[in-house]
Structure 1
Amino acid sequence: MKKVGILGGTFNPPHVGHLIAANEALHGLDLDEVRFMPNSLPPHKKLAGHVEDEHRLRMTELAIEGNDCFRVETVEIQRAGVSYTIDTMRELIKREPETSFYFIIGADMIEYLPKWRDIDELSRLVTFVGVKRPGYSTETPYPVLLIDTPEIHLSSTVLREKAASNKTLHYLMPETVIRYIKENGLYGA
């Protein structure tokens, strides 16, 4: 059975924290691939600094270039509207019944699991993989497989603020993404 990790998020913009978490899950769990899945409208986040789907999708593609085990999953962007993980996973499982899915989440989302739509069913459909983040607890009543990763205190919010202030983004995200942000004037860059 194929083992696929799913790393969902706004990727607004994608950064090294996302790449490290995906890479550690890939190798730590012996996954066949990890798919980065930009969502259209997250149900749990306000859309401050939100850029269009096509920009976030392109930045995600640029961020994962060169890693043959990383792919982009576009199911939520194609569906548009609010992205509930349960709907997405039902669709992916229907499309790929011979695949085991590992849904990779940061500690901020581990804390939030009790509020996810149809979480009991979802926790039966996927294996949740938790990535520790400084300042967040990994305590939850739901089964989460924790993996060891370097803990980096980095967020897309901080990167958007840096871009808007014309501060350096070097080493915080791939250079291809930084160039794309500047060329397209995203986040006030």
Structure 2
Amino acid sequence: MSKKIGILGGTFDPIHNGHIYIAYEAKRLLDLDEIIFMPSGNPPHKDEKNITDSHLRYKMVDIAVKSYEGFTTSDYEVNKQGLSYTYETLMHLKDTLKGADLYFITGADCLIDLEKWKNVDLIMDNCNFVVFNRPGYTKEELYDEKRLVEQKYNKEIIFLDLLQLDISSTWIRHRIREGHMVDFFMPDEVSKIIRDNRLYL
């Protein structure tokens, strides 16, 4: 029987408890053997100048997830040259994780913006596409978009109705700039890396 592996990608700038909750619930609900956290190297949709160094983001993710059974971190995108595209990452994982059944886990905002992504057909062909709800989107809106994408690519999308923790990396960075505490939103080791490197000030 092939291994079921979840992929949770993102900028993780910084990783927080919301990310860990999503990964835990996806692993439990989909009965996955493993969740690979994939910090993005150079995402095409973000301004590289405003993103924390990829190796520092990788370090924060790695230290945040190490104590959870079945959680691992990949440095594939961090070490890859050029822009980071999801379809390339999935094709790479398909090639290296021989026979594994991949589950790409992403938020509602990505489902809404999916047509802006590169080679969506290759993404759909190389994984089970999993979407979780996020604040700001109604279930009706998401189900409508889910239906449209499923019809266009003839692929089923898995929807996870999770508790909506309204924590975002953007909001955490803003709190740090304003001089407010954020320790309760992330693992202690991540807070320490942020303080030691004077990030987001």
Name 2:172's counterpart in structure 1: 159
Give the AA of the match of 1:94. Answer: D
Aligned residues: 188
* Displacement after TM superposition at 1:81 (Å): 2.2
* Displacement after TM superposition at 1:48 (Å): 6.3
1:163-174 mapped onto 2 (5 Å cutoff): 163-174=176-187
1:37-186 mapped onto 2 (5 Å cutoff): 37-47=38-48, 49-136=50-137, 137-138=141-142, 139-140=145-146, 141-142=149-150, 143-186=156-199
Q: For the aligned residues, what is the CA RMSD?
A: 1.3
Give the AA of the match of 1:152. Answer: L
- Which runs of 5 or more residues in structure 1 are unaligned? none
- 8 Å CA contact 1:16, 1:174 repeated in 2: yes
Q: Percent identity?
A: 36
Determine which structure has more spread, i.e. the larger CA radius of gyration.
Answer: 2
TM-score, normalisation: structure 1: 0.94
Name 1:7's counterpart in structure 2: 8
> Which structure shows the bigger proportion of residues in helix conformation?
2
* Displacement after TM superposition at 1:72 (Å): 0.2
Q: Evaluate the alpha carbon distance shift between residue 45 and residue 63 of structure 1 in structure 2; reply closer, same or farther with a 3 A threshold.
A: same
Q: Evaluate the alpha carbon distance shift between residue 155 and residue 118 of structure 1 in structure 2; reply closer, same or farther with a 3 A threshold.
A: same
